[in-house]
Chains A and B, each alone.
Chain A
Amino acid sequence: MRLLLASLLVILSASGNSALAQQATLSVVTPDKADAQAYRTLFRRALSYKKLADEADLAHTPKPHLRHVLATRYALSDDDSASLEKMAIAYQVAIKPIHDRTLEVVKQYRARFPFGVIQAGMDATPPPELAELQKQDDAVTLLYRDLLHNSMREENFQKLNTRIAADFGGRL
């Protein structure tokens, strides 16, 4: 038991520059955090493929396959695929104020360092508000995960969720 506790402490307190520290940290990533990362990636991809397909249509070089990338990968029905796209568009609108504020905070922070140089004695600690904005971003992402869940049949959502978690869910 003592050995186990000692090992745990060594692993958890490892804060040096090794991959071990990363593994220890990732091992306690919460399911919600992992879900937020996974669904953020999913919604972002859905939007990117739609945008590229729309641009290709406008340029008269259609790429219809881009509209089916996620449906094929996750075996989505036409209805579920449409729900995903609709939710991704709504998500983009909902997340925009948070992204805008993040950009504002980032710009203000960077402006503190003329020519991008941190002079001696300057405090370069990133603004704590960025961490708070990340939490808001995660919360909105999880809300749209839940809305997507509600728009799909339970069985279909669970299948999708399992596949998304396998792809982008991190190492839980």
Chain B
Amino acid sequence: MKSFRLAIVLSAVMSCLCQVSAAQNIIGSTTLDIDPNSGNVTATCETDLDATLQGTYQALVSCSVMDTDGNVVASGTAGDPDGEQGYAQAVLTFLGIPGTTYTARGHHGAIAIFIDDNPDDYTKNVYDYNYYYDPYNFSSFEGAPIEYPVYNDWYGPGPTQTVKLPSIHVGSTTDNKIRYYTQSELQALIANAQAILSPHCDAVFAQVIVPTYTNANFFNSLRVTAFLQYPPGAPNIPESDGRDADTQVDQPGRPIELFPNFYPTKYGFPAGFQESVLTHEGVHHYTGWLDFHDPNNPLTPDFQTQFYSSGYRNTSGGSGDFSTWITAGCPAAP
């Protein structure tokens, strides 16, 4: 009895392996990559047909990229009209916007190329429509196409079907990534922060941050700072309490964290916002000072105390007041 069961199982396994060796798969893949040096986004969607399928189908792929808000920002389709390649591939590439999560989605399909003039189902009126030959029954996936991360293969289960429309969508694959600021973009923001810092702010800094402050020292120091980026959707975003950025003054090298508020939105920013935030954090980085007096660190200077005589007043209770004060040109107290 045991050997009988074993025979049944082996026979079933062999039957299944025969299906595999028949190699009648539609293979779909989608990848999305972002170049860390240039910020360019590259989405690649591909539908590949096993050779067995190439006689009766053509590969088809439709590729799109959406931004965080679900807007389609790039799209394209590709086919293999003469079946010369056995696959269809679409590559989309464009410059991404920092802080955006891009999602690429490839819709995979095959085009049935033969008209079946003798469908099994004689209720179909062949004079009204062409019926296309779907020998591996890929149309069975059309009812509820499923989306897979990056890759999937769809095995044509058969039996032969006829379909009204030649284009058969089997499912989709997807991939996504977040566009971070590139190093060169951060350097450009720092250069801009230096360019728009008002001469009065510069003089105030020189008066308060003694004895080492010079404009060049300050911004050169900011240029070599490590930036820890936390755009919207990034993993493990620290609790930011609504702040735009934070400097870890108690950590070696005083790295600067950039929180989701720092990144562009579709509404844009007030002029000089990011530059003022960077200068604000630059002061933390350069001096090690805190935003507010901390009773637990009574010896560590803070902005409220240090810049009080220069006119800085914190009225909102939030650290962003210092950035606003810089944007305004570090005015004296009214």
Look across to chain A and name the residue whose beta carbon is closest to the beta carbon of B36: A72
| Closest Cβ–Cβ distance, residue A149 to chain B (whole Å) | 21
A26 within 8 A of B: yes
- Whether B52 lies near A9 (C-beta < 8 A) is no
Which residues does chain A contribute within 8 Å of B5, judged by CB atoms?
A: 5
- Whether B27 lies near A18 (C-beta < 8 A) is no
- Whether A106 lies near B55 (C-beta < 8 A) is yes
Which residues does chain A contribute within 8 Å of B141, judged by CB atoms?
A: 19
Contact with B along A136-172 (1 / 0, CB 8 A): 0100000000000000000000000000000111110
- Whether B19 lies near A25 (C-beta < 8 A) is yes
Number of A-B contacts (CB under 8 A): 168
Look across to chain B and name the residue whose beta carbon is closest to the beta carbon of A119: B117
Which residues does chain B contribute within 8 Å of A126, judged by CB atoms?
A: 52-53, 55-56, 135
A8 vs B5: C-alpha distance in the bound complex, in angstroms? 11
Look across to chain A and name the residue whose beta carbon is closest to the beta carbon of B140: A17
- Whether B27 lies near A8 (C-beta < 8 A) is no
A141 vs B85: C-alpha distance in the bound complex, in angstroms? 16
**When A28-B13, A65-B35 are in contact, do A117 and B52 touch as well, CB less than 8 Å?**
no
Binds A, one of B151-159, B287-295, B313-321: B151-159
**When A52-B91, A131-B51 are in contact, do A24 and B16 touch as well, CB less than 8 Å?**
yes
A130 within 8 A of B: yes
* Complex partner residue of B157 from A16, A110, A170, CB under 8 angstroms: A16
A89 within 8 A of B: no
**When A118-B115, A124-B135 are in contact, do A22 and B154 touch as well, CB less than 8 Å?**
yes
A69 vs B32: C-alpha distance in the bound complex, in angstroms? 9
* Complex partner residue of A25 from B16, B37, B42, B144, CB under 8 angstroms: B16
Interface of B is mostly: mixed
* Complex partner residue of B12 from A9, A17, A131, A134, CB under 8 angstroms: A9
Look across to chain B and name the residue whose beta carbon is closest to the beta carbon of A105: B55
**When A28-B16, A37-B153, A120-B117 are in contact, do A65 and B89 touch as well, CB less than 8 Å?**
no
Closest 8 interchain pairs by CB? Answer: A17-B140, A65-B35, A134-B51, A120-B118, A12-B12, A21-B157, A65-B40, A109-B55
Between-chain CB contacts (< 8 Å), 29 pairs: A13-B12, A13-B15, A17-B137, A24-B16, A25-B19, A25-B155, A37-B27, A41-B29, A44-B87, A49-B42, A63-B40, A64-B38, A65-B42, A68-B35, A68-B37, A69-B44, A102-B54, A106-B55, A110-B113, A116-B113, A117-B114, A118-B116, A118-B117, A120-B118, A134-B50, A134-B52, A168-B150, A168-B151, A169-B151
Q: Which residues of B contact A (CB under 8 A)?
A: 5, 8-9, 12-13, 15-17, 19-23, 27, 29, 31, 33, 35-38, 40, 42, 44, 46, 48, 50-56, 83-87, 89, 91, 93, 113-118, 133, 135, 137, 140-141, 144, 146, 150-155, 157-159, 161
Q: A45-B44, A65-B37, A118-B116 are in contact. List 8 more A-B contacts (CB 8 A).
A: A15-B158, A17-B157, A25-B16, A40-B48, A116-B114, A130-B51, A167-B150, A170-B152
